[in-house]
Structure 1
Amino acid sequence: MRLAEIHIHPLKSCRANLVEQALVEPMGLQHDRRWMLGDGAGGFLTGRQHPRMVLIEVAADAVGATFRAPGMPDLRVEVAELGERESVKVWRSQFDARAGQVEADFWFSDYLGTNCRLHYVGPETTRRTNAVPEVPVGFADGYPLLLIGTASLADLNGRLERPVTMRHFRPNLVVETAVPYEEDGWSRIRVGEVLFENVKPCGRCIFTTVDPETAELDPARQPLETLNGYRIGEQGTEFGINLVARGLGTVRVGDAVVPGG
């Protein structure tokens, strides 16, 4: 098996960046979900409530990020220009993140038509994963990385009238597999030089029904409705596996993938 694709989402719910290689850090892939939109009251915004977020493109680097969205001028934000840390919440996790650039808040508010506040979290994050409390995590829903096998998507598409893409499921690592859902049984996996641990299956939600190219919700709630018919487990509707890294290094498209490490 080999690593087929690497996806990075610098802003929570933004359009994925497909890259040829990525640095694996304790918080996951470098630049992945380090930025997030808040509602100004400590809550967070995602494509579940605001599907147009999936059309936002982000180019992140060591000192900041450039944001692009349909009908909007480019927005450049430098981490050094952000204000002090303030309390934010992602599901049940309460922790501090940087914020404070008024121009960015107005830019996102204009684009989405709702009150927005841009937040950034770096390696100083105090947030930790639930199952592996020593592992730091940024603005991901619960765990730093998500992996899906290509055979799993092919099996799902064989059940759908209209096939979907990997972008519907927002993975970080896509592995070329021959058997559908074989990734579910991997306790550990080595990708290139980095060892990962399978923490739990990934529970799926309504966000999977948002078309990543058009930002439109599928009126038939696909592919979620089909998954509901045959992929129910302890985490609800499951598709893909959540990972934590057990080492640092670089992963590259084409790297050998070895279950068990």
Structure 2
Amino acid sequence: MGLIEVPHNAAIATGISIAIATTVVAISYWLQQKKRNRIPTEWKPIGKVEQLFVYPLKSGKAIELKTAECTELGLKEILSDEEKGRFTLRDRFFIIYNEKSQNFLTARQKTSLLLIAVKSNDKDTVTLNSPDAKEEITFRVPDQSNERTQCIVHSNEVVETIDCGNDVAVWLSKVILDEESGLRLGCCPISEGCLRKIKMGPYEKYAEVYKNFTDKELGAYSDLASYMLFSQESLNDLNEKLKPNGIANCRQFRPNIVVSGSGISPFSEDKWQWIKIGDTVIMRGFKPCTRCAMITLDPDTGKRDPNVQPLKTLRSYRKLTEPAAIKLEGDSPAFGRYFGLYQKGNISVGDTIYLPAS
């Protein structure tokens, strides 16, 4: 039996149909991407900013602010007229890392990091203090033109840093390790924008799952994003479940922005794509903030909760549900949402929070 010959015109028609179908799919995908990336123009109020926090030292003590500048690298304090002339603190600008391995140090490993506070003095000096130290240490923040070295952060990402000198390195080694050496302090080289790149780091797998995750979302030395937000309503919901065995402090979750309002229900922030804060700042959410044993640490003492709370309770009702996210991040529970900055400006406690009107 011979082969059946397809008429030439039929073959051409089939090819054209396939090409048209492919083009339609491509256009549809492009339109969806364009719609998702389009910043909304109409907004509705749902609440307000309750608290603002920066953590100048990664894993270090929080500083609560009343007003802050939103930059691509995270929150930055705004100095009053009386304060102008001193070094401006910003979120996760300093990082402690191991001198030999170059791996960054976190409070998950050394809980005493939580108690190290940062205070700026004049235009280029900063002081660190800790209840575990006999004396505080003041050091000069290195010039941005200084030679750069590298350290390793979240998910084995290699980032650039500028070493802050031997004096502060010895102080940190004594306070944290009870040794004369072993740790170094680095600061973020911000003169070039210093934005990390997804394709240069280990984050492409996150971008495959969380489609809104781009280079714009990566902060200075934050684990993943320049902003983390949650609502007071979500914290209240968790604390109701923790009773009568105590409540969680919002600082255990190390947020940058805490919001609340009559238009916000517990964990409604899970689905927020675009938000507007105040008159100008616009952010886009892209990923739930998954939680580890870090939230079991008391931010005022550095001690771990003996009952593994509030992590244990979160695991009982806040696990991820999307199969792709579960495959990527396991059974870690979610609390809060990561955001990237899409329109700069200043924000203050009491500013209105908006969601897209439609």
TM-score bracket, shorter-length normalisation: over 0.9
> 1:39 pairs with 91, 98, 121, which one?
98
> RMSD in angstroms over aligned alpha carbons?
1.8
Which runs of at least 4 in structure 1 moved beyond 6 Å after TM superposition? none
> 2:188 pairs with 105, 121, 125, which one?
121
What fraction of aligned residue pairs are identical, expressed as a percent?
29
Give the 3 Å change call, closer, same or farther, for CA 64–247 of structure 1 in structure 2: farther
Q: Check if 1:180 corresponds to 2:266.
A: yes
> 2:315 pairs with 217, 228, 235, which one?
228
1:84 counterpart residue number: 147
Between the two proteins, the alignment pairs up a number of residues equal to 261
Q: Displacement, 1:201?
A: 0.4
CA distance in 2, matches of 1:79, 1:212: 26
Structure 1: tracts of 5 or more residues without a match:
none
- Specify the structure having the higher radius of gyration (Cα): 2
Q: Which has the higher contact order (CA 8 A, sep 6+)?
A: 1
1:27 counterpart residue number: 73
Aligned 8 A contact 2:165 2:185 in 1: yes
Q: Check if 1:209 corresponds to 2:296.
A: yes
Indicate the structure with greater helix content. Answer: 2
Q: Displacement, 1:121?
A: 0.4
Aligned 8 A contact 2:139 2:167 in 1: no
1:258 counterpart residue number: 354
2:174 counterpart residue number: 110
Aligned 8 A contact 1:128 1:137 in 2: no
Indicate the structure with greater strand content. Answer: 1
Deviations 1:128-152 (A, max 9, x none): 3542124552110111110010000
CA distance in 2, matches of 1:77, 1:128: 30
Aligned 8 A contact 1:13 1:53 in 2: yes
Aligned 8 A contact 2:275 2:282 in 1: yes
Q: Check if 1:69 corresponds to 2:130.
A: yes
Q: Displacement, 1:127?
A: 1.8
State TM-score, norm by structure 2: 0.69
CA distance in 2, matches of 1:87, 1:80: 15
> 1:243 pairs with 339, 343, 349, which one?
339
CA distance in 1, matches of 2:176, 2:51: 30
Structure 2: tracts of 5 or more residues without a match:
1-46, 77-89, 204-212
